[in-house]
């Protein structure tokens, strides 16, 4: 704990806008990244970040003057806001699923290509995270990706350090198992693709062989002016029978 952290806490409690602005500049990116990992959506994460700092300003009087950095406090707020956003998104998706689909409009923004690539990676992460329980996702995001220690994570979530340790252990075990399942699934998919390609090649070779055999059974073509042996035999005058 630094003396500057205590001073920042005191100034935030007193409503010092300049200090709060510095707090935003220092931790906005960390809050955004945390929200992005929990929601898997850029726009939602940006909304969560905005709501987090708005809620922090409104609840600044709750900040204790003793303590370290305010990042755990901000990430704790962001965690709750992200979960609320996830629930709201699920409700909205269920509603839209029952409505006629609108015409899609392609995004031609310069940053679209980069965001599409990032979105693929996020979907891969979300595919695994979505199979974890909510409290396991939260402790994993705080400890592993946001870099908080056990005590800071406990402060952010309002639980004990022992609870943080046990949740993190379970989350890591499950993620390891999910990673193995995903790897096995990828290998199975590659093998299935290879089998399908092999079957296609076998079928193509069979058709080619059948065409070659069929070509051997047909009457050979003659060039202009030539006569087949059967035609030549028919053209020879029949000999008169001997008396």
CA distance 67 to 70: 8
Contact criterion met (CB below 8 Å) for 172 and 179: no
From residue 9, alpha-carbon distances to 50, 60, 155 in Å are 20, 9, 15
Domain limits, the chain: 3-93+130-191
| Model pLDDT, residue 130 | 76
Residue that the structure tokens 């998706």 belong to: 93
CA distance 243 to 227: 33
Q: Report whether pLDDT(22) > 50.
A: yes
Read off φ and ψ for residue 147, nearest 5 degrees: 75, 20
227 vs 49 pLDDT, higher one: 49
Contact criterion met (CB below 8 Å) for 172 and 140: yes
Categorize the per-residue pLDDT at 64 as very low, low, confident or very high, splitting at 50, 70 and 90.
Answer: confident
From residue 130, alpha-carbon distances to 95, 117, 123, 127, 171 in Å are 21, 20, 10, 6, 12
Categorize the per-residue pLDDT at 235 as very low, low, confident or very high, splitting at 50, 70 and 90.
Answer: very low
Q: What is the mean pLDDT of the chain?
A: 76
3-state secondary structure 94-119: HHHHCCCCCCCCCCCCCCHHHHHHHH
Structural fold of domain 3-93+130-191: Butyryl-CoA Dehydrogenase, subunit A; domain 3 (1.20.140)
| Model pLDDT, residue 232 | 42
| Model pLDDT, residue 34 | 93
From residue 202, alpha-carbon distances to 185, 207, 213 in Å are 26, 9, 17
pTM beyond cutoff 0.85: no
């Amino acid at each position: 704990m630094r003396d500057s952290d205590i001073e920042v806490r005191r100034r935030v409690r007193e409503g010092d806008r300049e200090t709060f602005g510095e707090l935003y500049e220092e931790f906005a990116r960390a809050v955004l990244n945390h929200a992005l990992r929990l929601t898997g959506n850029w726009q939602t994460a940006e909304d969560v970040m905005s709501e987090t700092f708005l809620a922090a300003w409104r609840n600044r009087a709750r900040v204790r003057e003793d303590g370290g950095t305010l990042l755990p406090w901000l990430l704790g707020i962001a965690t709750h806001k992200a979960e609320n956003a996830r629930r709201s998104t699920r409700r909205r998706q269920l509603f839209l699923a029952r409505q006629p689909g609108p015409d899609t409009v392609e995004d031609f923004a310069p940053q679209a290509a980069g965001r599409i690539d990032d979105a693929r990676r996020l979907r891969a992460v979300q595919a695994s995270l979505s199979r974890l329980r909510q409290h396991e996702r939260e402790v994993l995001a705080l400890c592993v990706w946001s870099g908080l220690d056990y005590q800071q994570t406990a402060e952010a979530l309002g639980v004990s350090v022992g609870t943080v340790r046990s949740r993190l252990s379970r989350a890591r075990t499950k993620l390891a198992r999910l990673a193995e399942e995903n790897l096995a699934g990828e290998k199975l998919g590659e093998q299935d693709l290879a089998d399908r390609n092999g079957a296609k090649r076998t079928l193509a070779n069979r058709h080619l062989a059948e065409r070659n055999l069929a070509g051997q059974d047909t009457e050979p073509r003659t060039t202009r002016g030539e006569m087949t042996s059967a035609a030549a035999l028919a053209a020879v005058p029949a000999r008169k029978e001997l008396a």
